[in-house]
Chains A and B, each alone.
Chain A
Amino acid sequence: MTETMRRDFKNRAEMIDYLKEQFSEAYATDPRVSDEFIGGRVEAEKRLQQVKTGSAYKRSRNYLDGAVSKLSPYIRYGVLTLAEVRDFALEQSGNGASKFINELGWRDYWQRLYAEMGDDIWEDQEHYKTGIPKHQYADDLPEDIENGETGVKLIDDIVHELKTTGYLHNRQRMYFAAYVVHWRNIKWQAGARFFLTHLLDGDPASNNLSWQWVASTFSHKPYIFNLSNVRKFTGKQYEAPAHETGMEIFEGSYDDINADLFNEKVR
């Protein structure tokens, strides 16, 4: 007889106790649950009402403390539909919501591509435009990255936040992906798998194709960043001298970093 799983819990703690037993392997690997994101439609609706979709979003969304919606875990599981989030945005901000709706468009775009690509979503869509031969990229994510012990503060902070909350700002995702693929020469698939494990909104469509965009296997050129960019968008956390935080590897102009990281012939 097939066992039906429990639904009657007095509170969250009791549910978590039950899940610990049922999913003991995942629990043993990392027992944390997200206190920032509670699953379900009730919470999703509450959050939707607080989202800023107009000029505040447009102006600040690239900043870590900007007015981003953090709705992605709810949208990923279809708890909120893209159409209803769009309708809410139009009602709140009219045409002023165009940037917000454009970002919702990315999710729709990735989903449509996924429907066409199927499992090919795990394959390079194009060749790397870095000049580095594919075989020189490692297959697996090294432990220092996985454990957030690289000594590069930005990266270690990102890993810690990901594992604690199950969520990262888009810019943190881009920084992390660029570090993994371009500074450490690791195949994007290894990083994409790591994100799928931990991100509450992890979904092969948005996740893998965004990794490919950073890697340059689904874009014209690799995405990189530098320390000024980090300092601009992350507030005051990374103002200490770069050599004290292991972040001197991000110092310099984009031209300098390109020259350091990639094969000059292809630039």
Chain B
Amino acid sequence: MTNTIAWIHADNLNPNQPALEAGHPAIFVWDDELLKQWDISFKRITFIYECLLEMDVTIRRGDVAIEVGKFAAEHNAKHIITPYSPSPRHKWIMRQLKVLIPDSKLEIYMDEPFVDYDGHIDLKRFSRYWRKVEKYAMQATSK
């Protein structure tokens, strides 16, 4: 039997998010390389840390894929769930994880959508996007 862990990142620091619902052990890793690359200010670090303190997560620092891999091993987990992120770095770390733990299963959890529509949306300009999605965006989330 394999266990599940949640890998939390800064694109979703909501303590009520779907990836934390089942109460699996969860980890957040300060991405050393990204901190340096973006030259993130102390203000931003503090704000993120305050968000983390309201979440049931283990906080570590270093190379994200390696730390998530270690955490998975500590919990004997091959199933890793993580909230969605559009960032290319998130995709890159997921690929790294797949290399580090070849028999792992990675799964992305989505928040409830702002626009509940799966068809093609033209993103060339905002006006085109909005023409298409306005009627969906103006609808409350169905409970």
List the interface of chain A (C-beta within 8 A of B).
Answer: 2-7, 9, 12, 15-16, 19-20, 22-23, 26-27, 29-34, 37-42, 73, 77-84, 86-87, 90-91, 95, 98, 101-102, 104-106, 108-109, 111-116, 118-119, 163, 166, 193, 196-200, 202, 204-205
Contacts and interface: CB of A to CB of B under 8 A. Distances in A.
B50 A166 contact: no
Nearest to A43: B50
27 contacts: A2-B60, A4-B59, A15-B46, A23-B35, A30-B42, A32-B41, A32-B42, A34-B47, A39-B13, A40-B53, A41-B51, A77-B11, A77-B48, A79-B14, A81-B114, A83-B112, A86-B141, A91-B140, A95-B138, A101-B138, A105-B129, A105-B137, A109-B130, A111-B86, A114-B87, A193-B38, A196-B38
Nearest to B115: A108
A57 to B, nearest CB: 15
Contacts, number: 180
**Interface SS of chain A:** helix
Q: Which range contains the number of B residues in contact with the other chain?
A: 35 or more
A148 to B, nearest CB: 14
B51 A79 contact: yes
B61 to A, nearest CB: 6
Interface of B: 10-17, 30, 35, 38-54, 58-62, 67, 70, 83, 86-88, 91, 111-115, 121, 123, 126, 129-130, 133-134, 137-138, 140-141
Contacts of B133: 105, 108
Given A4-B58, A78-B83, A115-B86, A202 B16 contact: no
Contacts of B53: 7, 9, 15, 40
Contacts of B126: 105-106, 109
A116 B123 contact: yes
A12 B87 CA distance: 30
B141 A84 contact: yes
Contacts of B59: 4-7
Contacts of A33: 42-43, 46-47
8 shortest interchain CB distances as A-B pairs:
A39-B50, A78-B12, A115-B86, A118-B88, A82-B114, A5-B59, A39-B47, A39-B51
A39 to B, nearest CB: 3
A154 B44 CA distance: 24
